[in-house]
């Protein structure tokens, strides 16, 4: 999320920046779109599928819920755990995804910089995050100087990493949602440029939602006076598309991708 000055608002306005996924590109949102999700070709089925977490697994005729484990980097304020849980309750209500809190963490998600001959590429350090936190999702408040996931003036960022194979359906396996410390925001889950709206937006990215063109939705990329305090109809449609209504998986997941190791094995230098 970028921080932009805006005379119209009389204060700082906030711009969210698209999630940077490990794979794939995010097309610009149409002006009137109210929801957007990412599609990718699943090597398991050969079909284009919605990139999403595992809401449940059906194996041997038995369906079990898969709770997404998450850790919170509170930035020193333990009350933020409860705040995150309020946001995730909204995600659960609209998507059917379930979350399991595994504790606080001091880990700061970041990108590795892969130095390809054609230019640098930033990739989410999914495997490193999993190893450090034992959580599938990290939600946190961090100083802008502590991570390279903020490319500039963003107030927040959300990202996912997904993987699949001929034996494992494509799915999100690691995610992060970060809010930058020190950004002036309204407290609570209120309309306008509030910390609650920002958190819902970045968590939206971390469950697979992309930006939309309609200012009425949480997933609009710029926070302003029009920003709602909760997910709206388009956001909720997107949450269903990445949630339990989209169905259970029938294969076991793979470990989080380690693009750093892949790049290094290909002779590409990496800066961590």
**Binding flag, residue 2, Zn ion (CB under 5 A):** no
DSSP string for 128-174: HHHHHH--SEEEEEE-GGG-TT--SS-SEEEEEEEE--SSS--EEEE
Shorter beta-carbon distance to Zn ion: residue 132 or 222: 222
Shorter beta-carbon distance to Zn ion: residue 21 or 173: 21
Minimum CB separation from Zn ion for residue 208, in Å?
12
Determine the Cα–Cα distance for residues 225 and 89; give it in Å rounded to an integer.
24
Q: Which stretch binds Zn ion (CB under 5 A): 9-17, 141-149, 167-175, 185-193?
A: 9-17
Shorter beta-carbon distance to Zn ion: residue 16 or 54: 16
β pairing state of 171-180 and 156-163: antiparallel
Shorter beta-carbon distance to Zn ion: residue 133 or 217: 217
Q: Which residues of 24-41 are buried (b: 16+ CB within 10 A; e: fewer)?
A: eeeeebeeebbbbbbeee
Q: Which stretch binds Zn ion (CB under 5 A): 12-20, 108-116, 180-188, 226-234?
A: 12-20
CA distances from 229 to 170, 224, 267 (A): 32, 11, 47
Shorter beta-carbon distance to Zn ion: residue 129 or 206: 206
**Binding flag, residue 16, Zn ion (CB under 5 A):** yes
Q: Which stretch binds Zn ion (CB under 5 A): 10-18, 34-42, 94-102, 163-171?
A: 10-18
**Binding flag, residue 159, Zn ion (CB under 5 A):** no
CB atoms within 10 A of CB 234: 22
Q: Which residues bind Zn ion (CB under 5 A)?
A: 16
């Amino acid at each position: 999320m970028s921080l932009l000055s805006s005379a119209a608002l009389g204060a700082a306005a906030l711009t969210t920046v698209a999630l940077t996924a490990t794979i794939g590109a995010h097309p610009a949102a149409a002006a009137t779109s109210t929801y957007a999700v990412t599609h990718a070709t699943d090597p398991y089925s050969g079909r284009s599928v919605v990139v999403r977490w595992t809401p449940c697994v059906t194996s041997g005729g038995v369906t079990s819920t898969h709770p997404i484990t998450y850790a919170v980097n509170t930035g020193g304020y333990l009350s933020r755990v409860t705040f995150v849980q309020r946001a995730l309750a909204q995600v659960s209500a609209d998507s059917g995804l379930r979350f399991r809190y595994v504790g606080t963490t001091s880990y700061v998600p970041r990108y590795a910089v892969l130095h390809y001959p054609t230019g640098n590429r930033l990739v989410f350090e999914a495997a490193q995050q999993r190893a450090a936190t034992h959580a599938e999702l990290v939600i946190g408040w961090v100083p802008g100087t502590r991570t390279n996931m903020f490319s500039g003036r963003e107030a927040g960022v959300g990202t996912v990493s997904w993987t699949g194979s001929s034996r494992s359906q494509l799915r999100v396996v690691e995610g992060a949602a970060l809010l930058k410390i020190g950004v002036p925001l309204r407290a609570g889950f209120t309309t306008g440029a509030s910390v609650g709206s920002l958190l819902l937006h970045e968590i939206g990215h971390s469950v697979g939602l992309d930006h939309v063109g309609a200012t009425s939705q949480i997933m609009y990329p710029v926070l302003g006076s029009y920003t709602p305090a909760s997910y709206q109809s388009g956001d909720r449609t997107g949450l269903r598309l990445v949630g339990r209504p989209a169905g259970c998986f029938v294969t076991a997941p793979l470990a989080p991708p380690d693009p750093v190791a892949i790049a290094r094995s290909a002779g590409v230098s990496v800066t961590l």
